[in-house]
Each structure stands twice: as C-alpha cells, then as structure tokens.
C-alpha cells in the first residue's frame, strides 16, 4: 500500500486528563496477517493500558454532556408483525434490537464496537447518524440533542457524522464518477465549486489513491479502491465523527491490513474521532483506544482494549474471545 502523504498535523484538542500512551507493553492478540505499526507518532487519547475502566456510558439526565457524541438510554424496537388483522388488534411482536444503550464518544476516541451478529451494532450506528429514529432515548452531538430535531434543522448536524459501510460498492452510486461523488460531498460541506478538483485530488491522496481514479465509475474500481473512495467521500463532508460499519470484512486479508493502516494514519494525522464496528477483535485491539462489547442489544462491558480484551469481566466477552480462532497460520501483533 502506498502510505498516504503526510499532511499538516492538527493540534490535538485539550487533554482530558488521560495519561499519555506509555507503561507496560500490552499483551498480544492473534491476527490473520502481520501488520506493521511503523514509527508513526502515536495518536492522542487514552493509552489502552493506562485508563481507569470507564462505565459503559453516561446518562444524560440533566448533567452536562462534554462528549462529542452521547447516547442516552437508546432503545430501538422493530414491529415485526406484518399481517393486517393482528396489527389492527394491537397484537404486534416487537423485536428489541437495541435495549437501553448509554454510551459516550469523546473527541479523539476511536471506539471499537464488537459483538455477535444481530446484537444491534448496525442499528446503533444508524441511530448515531439519525438514519433511524430511536424508539426511546437521546442522541446528543456536541451538546445538541439530535433526537429533538427534524428536517431542515437536522440537516447541518447530519453532515458532522459520516458513515462508511461494509459494502462500499453498494453505497456508491454506480452512475456517478469518483469526481462527482466526492464533489457532491464537498458541495454539501460548503466548499466553492472552483476548489472541488484540487480538494478532491488531495482527499484521494490522503486515502492512498491516485487522483486519476476520480474519472472512473465505481464498477471500474477494485474492492479496496471503492472502500478508499467511500472513506474519501465521507472525509469530504468534514465530519467530526466517522462511523465505520465493518469497513474491511468484505475485503481479503491483505486489503484489510491496508485499510486498517489507512485508518490508523487518519487517526494519527487528522485526529479523527471514529466508531469502528467489527467482528475482528484483533483489528479492534490494534486501532481503538476504547472498546464496547454489545450483546443482545445491550452494552455489557466497555473500557480500554487491554482491559476488555485481556481482562474481560463479562462472561459474554470471555466467550467472544474464546471464539477467536488461534490457528498456527496466525501471526501475533507486537504492541
């Protein structure tokens, strides 16, 4: 992979009382492919092994919310009964996809959200973006209660949280070139049209792509290139928070490593706040400074990767860890 060029480094935000990354080396986790950490400066934020274990979240009841994104008591219930008569009689079968989740994402955090299939991770991600309305609870972005906003009032806040999906191919309009796709996002972010070409090329370089690929349609790009273009388009919006829903699980192992390194570079150079949803605990361990474990719609445990993945408190986390295959072909990460 071509490393993204080094751009100007933004000053980190005020420190939140967490210790610099230091201290004892973290234990090792298996990974399918070797990953280089490189000599890059380490990101700001909590050291995986040095933070006190935080509670899964904070409730919003009347308190001051300092987190970039705070979820308070989020519940999402889907009504599954499709037949007309039982619906008319009020006999619905509600399905609780998210069950009272409270969670805070601080600026500069890279929060890993892990859990079995169907536990509600994507639903929670969509609620963070207000692509789905929660049945109950509040979504507070930088002090603004998004759940209270509708339509035009919500629009400017929507731009601030961007999502990258597992299947980037499906999320990119096949009838538009890369230039149009990125240009649209730049327009929504308020950049004058005359600056689009230069900024789009810069964004492509940032995600390790040749600017010449802007002329191509999505079907003319490889899986890894599509995923990078999707990340470039999300970055074009100038988001405060990037939510990545299984961004590498559709890619082969070497591409997974490349995209992971790109995300690490974005984390380090742009200080991007991210929520990284993944089944792969080793990837989460590598990228994130906080981990939240979800089971059956609830956050059952949260803390630093060292705490949660190496000293799990909850039975479910132990089972999740026990399910990680430890084949002899797996290499180990030195951290």
Ligand X SMILES: Nc1ncnc2c1ncn2[C@@H]1O[C@H](COP(=O)(O)OP(=O)(O)OP(=O)(O)O)[C@@H](O)[C@H]1O
Q: Are 46 and 104 in contact (CB under 8 A)?
A: no
Longest CA–CA span in the chain (Å) reads 64
Radius of gyration in angstroms for the set of CA atoms belonging to the chain, rounded to a whole number: 20
Q: Least distance (Å) from Mg ion to the CB of residue 297?
A: 13
- Among the listed residues 31, 35, 97, 231, the single contact to ligand X using CB under 6 A: 97
Q: Least distance (Å) from Mg ion to the CB of residue 277?
A: 7
3-state secondary structure 118-184: CCCHHHHHHHHCCCCCCCEEEEEECCEEHHHCCHHHHHHHHCCEEEECCCHHHHCCCCCCHHHHHHH
Question: Contact region for ligand X (CB under 6 A) — 56-64, 111-119, 305-313, 314-322?
Answer: 111-119
Binding mask 63-82 for ligand X (x = CB under 6 A): ---------------x-x--
Structure tokens of 127?
A: 């609620």
Q: Least distance (Å) from ligand X to the CB of residue 297?
A: 7
How far apart CA 73 and CA 66 sit, in angstroms, is 17
> Is residue 122 a contact point for Mg ion (CB under 5 A)?
yes
Q: Least distance (Å) from Mg ion to the CB of residue 125?
A: 8
- Among the listed residues 31, 69, 114, 119, the single contact to ligand X using CB under 6 A: 119
Q: Are 76 and 134 in contact (CB under 8 A)?
A: yes
> Hey, which residues between 272 and 291 contact ligand X (CB under 6 A)?
none
Structure tokens of 266?
A: 């974005």
Q: E strands of the chain, at which residues?
A: 30-31, 69-79, 94-105, 110-115, 136-141, 144-145, 161-164, 241-245, 273-277, 290-295, 298-303, 331-332
Binding-site size for Mg ion (CB under 5 A) equals: 1
Q: Least distance (Å) from ligand X to the CB of residue 304?
A: 22
> Is residue 313 a contact point for ligand X (CB under 6 A)?
no
Q: Can you tell me which residue has the tokens 């230091």? A: 22
Q: Can you tell me which residue has the tokens 């919500």? A: 154
* Distances, alpha carbon 100 to alpha carbons 59, 114, 124, 132, 136, in Å: 10, 17, 11, 15, 8
Q: Which residue is nearest to Mg ion (CB)?
A: 122
- Among the listed residues 118, 143, 156, 190, the single contact to ligand X using CB under 6 A: 118
Binding mask 223-262 for Mg ion (x = CB under 5 A): ----------------------------------------
Q: Least distance (Å) from Mg ion to the CB of residue 245?
A: 6
> Is residue 171 a contact point for Mg ion (CB under 5 A)?
no
How far apart CA 63 and CA 46 sit, in angstroms, is 23
Q: Least distance (Å) from Mg ion to the CB of residue 278?
A: 10
Name the residue nearer to ligand X (CB basis): 56 or 115: 115
Q: Least distance (Å) from ligand X to the CB of residue 132?
A: 8
> Hey, which residues between 226 and 265 contact ligand X (CB under 6 A)?
none
Binding-site size for ligand X (CB under 6 A) equals: 12
Closest to 240 measured CA to CA, from 65, 107, 46: 107
Q: How many helices (H) and strands (E) does the chain have?
A: 11, 12
119 interface partner picked from ligand X, Mg ion, none, CB below 5 to 8 A per type: ligand X
Return residues touching ligand X (CB under 6 A): 78, 80, 95, 97, 115, 117-123
Return residues touching Mg ion (CB under 5 A): 122
């Amino acid at each position: 992979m071509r490393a993204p060029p080094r751009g100007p480094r933004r000053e980190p935000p005020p420190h939140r009382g967490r210790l610099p990354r230091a201290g004892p080396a973290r234990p090792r986790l298996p990974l399918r492919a070797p990953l280089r950490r490189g000599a890059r400066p380490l990101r700001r934020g909590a050291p995986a092994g040095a933070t006190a274990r935080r509670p899964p979240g904070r409730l919003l009841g009347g308190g001051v919310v300092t987190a970039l994104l705070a979820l308070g008591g989020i519940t999402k219930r889907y009504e599954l009964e499709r037949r007309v008569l039982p619906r008319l009689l009020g006999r619905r079968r509600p399905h609780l996809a998210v069950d009272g989740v409270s969670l805070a994402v601080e600026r500069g955090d890279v929060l890993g959200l892990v859990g079995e299939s169907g536990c509600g991770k994507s639903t929670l991600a969509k609620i963070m973006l207000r692509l789905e309305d929660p049945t109950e609870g509040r979504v507070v972005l930088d002090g603004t209660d998004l759940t209270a906003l509708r339509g035009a009032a919500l629009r400017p806040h929507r731009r601030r949280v961007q999502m990258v999906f597992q299947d980037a191919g499906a999320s990119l309009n096949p009838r538009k070139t890369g230039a149009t796709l990125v240009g649209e996002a730049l327009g929504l972010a308020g950049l004058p049209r005359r600056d689009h070409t230069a900024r789009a090329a810069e964004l492509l370089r940032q995600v390790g792509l040749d600017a010449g690929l802007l002329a191509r349609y999505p079907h003319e790009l490889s899986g890894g290139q599509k995923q990078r273009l999707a990340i470039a388009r999300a970055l074009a919006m100038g988001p405060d928070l990037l939510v990545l829903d299984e961004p590498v699980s559709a890619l082969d192992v070497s591409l997974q490593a490349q995209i992971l390194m790109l995300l690490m570079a974005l984390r380090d150079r742009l200080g991007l706040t991210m929520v990284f949803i993944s089944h792969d605990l080793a990837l989460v361990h590598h990228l994130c400074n906080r981990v939240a474990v979800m089971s059956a719609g609830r956050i059952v445990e949260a803390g630093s990767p060292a705490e949660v993945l190496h000293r799990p408190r909850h039975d479910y986390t132990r089972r999740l860890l026990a399910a990680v295959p430890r084949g002899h072909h797996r290499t180990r990460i030195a951290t």
